[in-house]
Structure 1
């Protein structure tokens, strides 16, 4: 195994967390516009970090400068209220633009946004203020929940603190996240969230775990946490809060937005490639590009529908409907992305899949990221919901 210990703040995010940068950055642009403005720059730089062990450190400095690391915070915490239900469409479009630029950046940024949402939803006021200040100082958050047989255990200590034992897998941003939100089991079986200050509690990373087809620059290593300690001030919410619905499954619309952004990048590169070859008059290419345009616009309509559904007054109380719609959205966008990839392959042929053309990387990254957990169960859950409701099809999602 390739094991690395990361003590204190000597990680690659040091440039994000330097004390001289501790004042909040006020964004010049709204989050969606800022992300759209960065997309081309992210895309141009993506090949530089496309390697196992790579991470887009410079890109996250750009996001910080644009105010995007603090955008998920409430306004009174120095943010742009990006995670508020009323701003869901802006959130999804922001994520889509970042995914269009670099899918690895989009994946990690989605996790950062998710962690800040959970912190604000379940944290005590003094915790929320502290974590918000750390986000303003440039700390990168994320969520590490996936684990294997040696999952994380929280062992109580006599002084009220907890010692950690076990590890997490697919720890995206490992070695770079300085405030990962982690889940672990309490002695009574409760599932507890906590936010680990990694510069105070070193972790050991197994980089050999991460030998992926795509998304290499997410640094999604196995993270060994045994021996680290946390205090009551690091615990987030009550046991079981992490799986509260509709927030747990409803969050699927966020990664679907990132995925759709990558499909847009595939479309743009396919059209550019055909223009460079002078193949614009080929009737079959016209047909394929037309179908790709239809698919991508369908995905954007799904995002709008998901945002409308998440922002409705009954989104929280009618959690089953919210989760069902989110599951339909992630399923539809997965199918859209897969079809866009197949059409793009036919458009560009073998020549287009040779480096330095971007298709090879885009194809690998999107194919890998589309493999989200339990896709069949997501469709089945939506089917269960529609089978047990008496609403006719025309008003199924209007409640």
Structure 2
């Protein structure tokens, strides 16, 4: 597959990671936000933003020994980083979250040789990973063709990052292998396979344009045994599958925070900050965003505490589902408050408000929101402790 990202480097030097609470990180995020409008296009990927992310060492931040090593209890800090990147540019946040998700699945399920190889792809070559699981009726099948070789057939939709991702994690139904069957993960080394056809016409969204989430046809791609990750159906193992909802919720909350900031900036530019109605709206937006921060903090701390609990998986999933649902509701309440505050003038380009609003509207549409709420209800009914004891 032909890749497009120009920022790959060849070498073994480890990039120094910027401290996550530093002026340099604030400057990096400001730079990403300043150029976000330049990639607000269905066919333009934020390459410059990811070059900056790579140079800051953030692609490798969850690798062993790094600042947010995912083998240590630091989920709250990771969620805050995802939120801050989402506040700078939701499309960048979406792709970055997919990269972090892929590295987490590698940490959970890869053999040591695979970890060494794939971690080097990140730390030495700045290669972007992602997770592409969504599909329609022509979804991916992985055929065992003998001698440790596999051939893919079918397509995936909403492939965020598309041709700019050098190590996509793709899932599919494993067939033709008598020893194992099920939903199998594989990681495609894009430089070793033929160019993967893209259906760019699939991607005509309201927002999140720069995530370039095309439909890709993997038919004919051939892989080796060492390109397969984990065992069939590992992908859906809990709490790691549903528990990951807190990560995309963090990026979404970043969008609400960006709307809050853009609203205050516009009101200040129009000398409307003394208006009592505007102050009331901004106050409500402030406590909504801060309540989202509290959800993220609790979700992160609870996840780290409950992972070692024999019965913790269900609690992690239920709490992640609540976090996802609560943050969606927070965003949906922040958006109309911001709209009323800025009026028609604020909804016009080149002001950032219009783009952020479109991006957040689209990104909030995550799969199965009703089933998520039903699952929360099932958990709390099946566990009839007093309310103050449910999450302790």
Match of 2:185 among 189, 193, 204: 193
Give the superposition deviation at 1:31: 7.5
Output the CA distance in 2 between the equivalents of 1:123 and 1:81.
19
Output the CA distance in 2 between the equivalents of 1:316 and 1:194.
29
Residue 159 of structure 2: aligned partner: 171
Output the CA distance in 1 between the equivalents of 2:20 and 2:354.
32
Q: Deviations over 1:169-196 (max 9, x none)?
A: 0000001000001101012750000100
Report the more deviating stretch, 155-164 or 324-333: 155-164
Residue 370 of structure 2: aligned partner: 376
Output the CA distance in 2 between the equivalents of 1:32 and 1:131.
29
- Structure-to-structure mapping, 1:55-66, within 5 angstroms: 55-66=45-56
1:71 aligns with 2:61: yes
Residue 161 of structure 1: aligned partner: 149
- Structure-to-structure mapping, 1:87-102, within 5 angstroms: 87-102=74-89
Give the superposition deviation at 1:74: 1.2
Residue 133 of structure 2: aligned partner: 145
Q: Deviations over 1:13-68 (max 9, x none)?
A: 1x22243x553212132488765442211110000000011101111110011110
CA contact (8 A) 1:82 1:91 kept: no
Residue 3 of structure 1: aligned partner: none
The verdict on how the C-alpha distance between 1:296 and 1:118 changes in structure 2, with shifts beyond 3 A counting, is same
Match of 2:327 among 318, 324, 333: 333
1:52 aligns with 2:42: yes
Output the CA distance in 1 between the equivalents of 2:54 and 2:307.
34
Give the superposition deviation at 1:348: 0.4
Q: Secondary structure at the match of 2:70?
A: coil
Q: Secondary structure at the match of 1:17?
A: coil
1:233 aligns with 2:226: yes
Q: Deviations over 1:64-104 (max 9, x none)?
A: 111100002111xxx33343451111101100110010000
CA contact (8 A) 1:31 1:94 kept: no
Output the CA distance in 2 between the equivalents of 1:100 and 1:34.
16
1:216 aligns with 2:209: yes
Normalising by structure 1, report the TM-score: 0.94
Q: Secondary structure at the match of 2:122?
A: helix
Report the more deviating stretch, 23-32 or 122-131: 23-32
Residue 7 of structure 2: aligned partner: 16
Which consecutive residues of structure 2, in runs of 5 or more, have no partner in the other structure? none
Output the CA distance in 2 between the equivalents of 1:168 and 1:214.
20
Q: Secondary structure at the match of 2:18?
A: coil
The verdict on how the C-alpha distance between 1:237 and 1:155 changes in structure 2, with shifts beyond 3 A counting, is same
1:124 aligns with 2:115: no
Match of 1:303 among 296, 299, 305: 296
Which consecutive residues of structure 1, in runs of 5 or more, have no partner in the other structure? 1-5
CA RMSD of aligned residues (A): 1.5
Normalising by structure 2, report the TM-score: 0.95
User: What is the number of residues matched between the two proteins?
Assistant: 385
Output the CA distance in 2 between the equivalents of 1:31 and 1:74.
20
Residue 94 of structure 2: aligned partner: 107
Output the CA distance in 1 between the equivalents of 2:21 and 2:186.
27
Output the CA distance in 2 between the equivalents of 1:104 and 1:313.
31
1:184 aligns with 2:184: no
Q: Deviations over 1:310-352 (max 9, x none)?
A: 0114556321111000000000000101111110000000111
